[in-house]
Amino acid sequence: MIQKLPHFTGFLSGLQNRGGGGDQEYFAMVSMGDPGQWNKGKYSFSGHLKALIGEAESRGLRFVYAISPGQDIVFSSSCDLTLLKRKLRQVAELGCHAFTLLFDDIDHSMCQADKEAFSSFAHAQVTVANEIFRFLGNPPVFLFCPTEYCSSLCTPSVSKSPYLLTIGEDLLPGISIIWTGKRVISRDLCADSLAEVQSVIRRPPLIWDNLHANDYDSRRVFLGPFKGRSPGLRAHLRGLLLNPNCEFEANFIPLHTLGSWHKEGKEERKGDEEGYGVERALSVALQDWMKELCLPLHPGRQVRSTDPKPSLSSVKSKSSDSSENQHEAKPKTSITSSWSSGALASDEIPAVPATHQDLEAGLYYLPHEHGPPAQSLLQDLTWLKANCHSVSVNGKKTPQQKAEEWRGRAGRFLAACDDVALLHSAMVNSVNRAVLYDLYPYIWDLRNTLLVAKAFICCLEGRIMSESSQLGSWKNCFHWCGASSGAELLGMEAEPWVFKGGLSGEVQMLLPVGTSNELFSHPPPLFPTCRLYNIRPFQQKDKVELYHMVHQLYQRGRGSQDATISHPDFIGDRCLGASLALCPEYSLVLEDELGVCGCAVGILDVRLFAKRCQATWLPAMRDKYLSLPHGHAATKEALLYFHEEQDYPDSQLYHFPSQLRLEALPELVDCSISRSLITALLTALKANGSPGVFCEVQPTDGSRIEFLTKLGFLEILRGEARSREGVVLGRLL
Active site residues: 105
Contacts of 310 (CB under 8 A, 6+ apart): 349, 426, 429, 430
List Cα–Cα distances, 714 to 7, 675, 697, 711, in angstroms.
Answer: 60, 16, 12, 9
In three-state secondary structure terms, 127 is: helix
List Cα–Cα distances, 584 to 82, 385, 604, 649, 687, in angstroms.
Answer: 75, 22, 11, 25, 16
Between β-strands 61-67 and 534-537, what pairing exists: parallel, antiparallel or unpaired? unpaired
Q: Degrees (nearest 5) of the Cα angle 680, 683, 684?
A: 95
CA distance 66 to 321: 53
List Cα–Cα distances, 388 to 333, 414, 510, in angstroms.
Answer: 16, 15, 13
How many CA atoms does the CB half-sphere of 570 hold within 13 Å?
Answer: 23
600, 587 in Cβ contact below 8 A? yes
639, 626 in Cβ contact below 8 A? yes
CA distance 265 to 588: 56
Packed helices 502-509 and 433-463: angle between N→C axes, nearest 10 degrees: 10
In three-state secondary structure terms, 69 is: coil
Burial class (CB in 10 A: 0-12, 13-18, 19+), 480: exposed
Is residue 115 within a helix (H) or strand (E), and if so which, with residue range? Answer: helix 112-117
Compute the CA torsion angle 564, 566, 571, 577 (nearest 10 deg).
-120
* Length of the chain in terms of residues written: 733
CA distance 448 to 671: 11
Outline where 149-234 has alpha helix (H). Answer: 162-170, 191-201
443, 424 in Cβ contact below 8 A? yes
Between β-strands 595-603 and 692-697, what pairing exists: parallel, antiparallel or unpaired? unpaired
CA distance 54 to 643: 80
CA distance 485 to 492: 10
Give φ, ψ of 658 to 5 degrees.
-105, 155
Contacts of 613 (CB under 8 A, 6+ apart): 578, 582
Give φ, ψ of 663 to 5 degrees.
-135, 130
CA distance 636 to 528: 47
